[in-house]
Structure 1
Amino acid sequence: MTSTLDVGDLRLAYTEAGAGAPVVWLHGSGPGATGMSNFGGNLPAFADYRNIVIDLPGWGDTPRPELDEPLIFHAAERVCRAMTALGIERAHLVGNSYGGAVAMRIAMRHPERVDRLVLMAPGGVLPADAPPWPVGLDRLFAYMAAAKPSREAMAEFVRLMVHDESLATEELIDERYESSLRAHPELPIPPNFGDLTPDLGLIAAPTLLVWGREDQTVPLTWAPRILDGIPDAELRVLPHCRHWVQYERAPEFNHIVREFLQGGAAAASEE
Structure 2
Amino acid sequence: MTTMVDVGDAELACTEFGAGSPVLWLHGSGPGATGMSNFGANLPAFGDYRNVVVDLPGWGRSPRPASDEPLIFHAAERVCRAMTALGIERAHLVGNSYGGGVAMRIAVAHPERVDRLVLMAPGGVLPADAPPWPVGLEHLFAYMAAEKPSRDAMAQFVRLMVYDESLATDALVDERYESSLLAHPELPIPPNFGDLTPDLARIAAPTLLLWGREDQTVPLTWAPTILRGIPDAELWVLPHCRHWVQYERAPEFNHIVREFLQGGAAAATSEG
Q: Could you say which TM-score interval applies, normalised by the shorter chain?
A: over 0.9
Other structure's SS at 2:185 match: coil
Secondary structure class of the residue paired with 1:56: coil
Residue in 1 that maps onto 2:34 = 34
Q: Is the 8 A contact 2:257 2:266 kept in 1?
A: no
2:22 maps to 22
Between the aligned partners of 1:97 and 1:16, the Cα distance in structure 2 is 21
Q: Identify the residue that residue 49 of structure 1 maps to in structure 2.
A: 49
**1:241 aligns to what?**
241
Which letter does structure 1 place at the counterpart of 2:162?
V
**Counterpart of 1:51 in 2: which secondary structure?**
strand
Moved runs in structure 1, 4+ residues, more than 6 A?
none
1:229 matched residue in structure 2: 229
Cα pair 2:116 2:261 within 8 Å, conserved: yes
The 1-side partners of 2:76 and 2:265 are apart by 26
Cα distance in 2 for partners of 1:89, 1:120 equals 24
Amino acid at match of 1:56: L
Q: Give the conservation status (yes or no) of the 8 Å contact 1:259–1:265.
A: yes
Q: Which residue of 2 aligns with 1:12?
A: 12
Gaps of 5+ in 1: none
The structural deviation recorded for 1:126 is 0.2
Identify the residue that residue 90 of structure 1 maps to in structure 2.
90
> Equivalents in 1 of 2:13, 2:233: separation in Å?
30
Paired residue type of 1:248: E
* Amino acid across the alignment from 1:249: R
Letter in 2 for 1:155: A
- Give the superposed CA RMSD: 1.1
After TM superposition, the score normalised by the length of structure 1 is: 0.98
Aligned to 1:2: 2
Contact 2:5 2:11 in 1 (8 A): yes
Q: Shift of residue 68 of structure 1?
A: 1.1
Contact 1:206 1:266 in 2 (8 A): no
The aligned residue for residue 72 of structure 2 is: 72
Note the 1:54-203 alignment, pairs <5 A.
Answer: 54-203=54-203
User: Secondary structure of 2:173's partner?
Assistant: helix
Equivalent AA in structure 2 for residue 140 of structure 1? L
The residue type paired with residue 4 of structure 1 is M
SS in 2 for 1:88: coil
Query: How many Å separate the matches in 2 of 1:26 and 1:265?
Result: 22
SS of the residue aligned with 2:264? coil
Deviation at 1:267, TM superposition (A): 11
The C-alpha deviation readout for 1:140-169, integer Å capped at 9, x for no partner, is: 000000000000000000000000000000
Partner Cα distance (1:162, 1:225) in 2: 24
Contact 2:208 2:260 in 1 (8 A): yes
Amino acid at match of 2:12: L
Question: Does structure 2 retain, via aligned residues, the 8 Å contact 1:33–1:179?
Answer: yes
Unpaired runs of 5+ in structure 2? none
Partner of residue 212, structure 2? 212
Identity of aligned residues (%): 87
- Deviation string for 1:35-80 (max 9, x for gaps)? 0000000000000000000000000000001111100000000000
Offset, 1:86: 0.6
The count of corresponding residues between Structure 1 and Structure 2 is 268
Q: After superposition, what is the alpha-carbon deviation per residue over 1:198-240, rounded to whole angstroms, capped at 9, x for unaligned?
A: 0000000000000000000000000000000000000000000
Q: 1:87 to 1:239 in 2, by over 3 A?
A: same
